[in-house]
Amino acid sequence: MTFLRRWWAQPCNYMRMRKYFEARGALSAYRIGIGFNCIFFGLAGLTAFLTAVPPSSMVSRTVLVSAVISSFVVGALWVRGPWPSERISTLFVIYADIGTTMALLSYGSIQMSFPICVLLAATGLYVQVFHSPKLLMAHLLWSAVTVAGMFLLILASPNLDHGLAWSHLIMLLPVMFTTPVFLQSILLNLRVDADDAMLDPLTGLHNRRGLDEAIPRFLRGGREVSVLVIDVDRFKSINDRFGHEGGDLALTLIARRLRVDEVLVARTGGEEFAVVTTVSAEQAISVAEWMRTRLHSLQDICPLTVSVGVAHSASVDGDGVCTVTDLLRQADGAMYEAKRRGGNQVVVADPVAAYPPLRVGRTGD
């Protein structure tokens, strides 16, 4: 029961999974693969008319033909793209489950179609990867109703092989019901661990690895990028005065104040933070000055000051990681220049020397 409760409570973010695979160039391949699977399911439906016991009634033939045609159409939509929204994806799961069940009931021999219930497990695999435990549970309940209904129909028919039906049922149970729960639990645990590896455990911000991971998505479509490197002035004195616990509290306070819209923030060192934003060079200086003053408050037990280095690029190369890495190096040098000048100020890196280095007096001067 503990395992099931943990599985049920595990978080799942559809858009995050979609972006994860997209960033690795795999989303298009998955989309095309799903499309061809839909087409193959449609072709499998056509084979019902080639069996020794084809669909006999007009209703069953109509349902099966409709399922085949819709499978071809849906498959073509998947192949054409783009990847669907979460709402459309959920509707696809509902369509696949209902369509598969209706098609199976339309076969001429229910004994023959019963083991083909395993096709529902293919839809379950899609749900395991992209959707939540709640949707997987709904899928499993539908699958259970389908399997139980068809099994009872076989048992109610004295001329059918009941022993074979029991054999098929025993085969279907682990494949369709227990395995999906275990596999999704493993996948969700791996996602949580992967996400944690991208975050700084103290502040909850991206670490350097997480920053590199987030940059391609953050800069998609951006034509320019600015980077700020922010370092706390005289941080050792904070640790000496308040202990490491006080230093940790100061870092979490800075992280909370840096969390603003339309910027990407990371903790890249002990007391060093990076901010990535898609603004012009002039705007980057304004953002840097705004953040410098935002991080200082006379209401704090130990008012903090920071040194800020700024670097800007008018273009983004490739996925942006190399561009940001170079800007981080430039902004880091500018930050150390700000410290050399006494701290509590903003300095712009040389590549944007058209904007003269900005020296800001200490708060309260």
| More confidently predicted of 88 and 23 | 88
> Does any domain span residue 261?
yes
Task: Choose the final residue of a domain: 197, 220, 243.
Answer: 197
Nearest to 329 by CA among 245, 291, 272, 244: 272
Contact (Cβ atoms closer than 8 angstroms) between residue 271 and residue 308? no
Same domain membership, residue 152 and residue 219: no
Residue 351 pLDDT class (50, 70, 90 cuts): low
Residue percentage of the chain with pLDDT more than 70: 93
> Does any domain span residue 37?
yes
Residue 360 pLDDT class (50, 70, 90 cuts): very low
d(CA 244, CA 246): 5
d(CA 318, CA 301): 45
Same domain membership, residue 343 and residue 217: yes
Contact (Cβ atoms closer than 8 angstroms) between residue 146 and residue 101? yes
Same domain membership, residue 108 and residue 144: yes
* Total number of domains constituting the chain: 2
* Mean pLDDT, all residues of the chain: 88
Q: Using one digit for the tens of pLDDT, what is the confidence trace for 140-154?
A: 999 999 999 999 999
> Does any domain span residue 360?
no
pLDDT for 1 equals 64
Same domain membership, residue 218 and residue 174: no
Q: Give SS3 for 295.
A: coil
Is residue 361 over pLDDT 50?
no
The helix-helix angle for 321-340 and 208-218 (nearest 10°) equals: 120
| More confidently predicted of 191 and 324 | 324
The enclosing domain of 246 has a CATH number of 3.30.70.270
Same domain membership, residue 182 and residue 262: no
Contact (Cβ atoms closer than 8 angstroms) between residue 81 and residue 127? no
Same domain membership, residue 34 and residue 164: yes
Same domain membership, residue 233 and residue 140: no
Among 159-173, 290-304, 335-349, where is mean pLDDT lowest?
290-304
Task: Choose the final residue of a domain: 136, 167, 197.
Answer: 197
Q: What is the pTM of this model?
A: 0.61
Contact (Cβ atoms closer than 8 angstroms) between residue 72 and residue 80? no
Task: Choose the final residue of a domain: 178, 197, 216.
Answer: 197
Q: Give SS3 for 255.
A: helix
Q: Give SS3 for 312.
A: strand
Which residues touch 307 (CB under 8 Å, ≥6 apart)? 230, 231, 233, 335, 336, 338, 339, 343, 344, 345, 347
Q: Using one digit for the tens of pLDDT, what is the confidence trace for 283-320?
A: 999 999 999 999 988 887 788 899 999 999 988 888 78
Q: What are 348's strand-pairing partners?
A: 310
> Does any domain span residue 365?
no
Same domain membership, residue 338 and residue 231: yes
Region 232-259: mean pLDDT is: 88
pLDDT for 158 equals 92
Same domain membership, residue 28 and residue 108: yes
Tally of CB atoms within 10 A around 181: 19
d(CA 42, CA 126): 18
d(CA 316, CA 334): 21
**Domain residue limits at 290:** 208-352
Residue 357 pLDDT class (50, 70, 90 cuts): very low
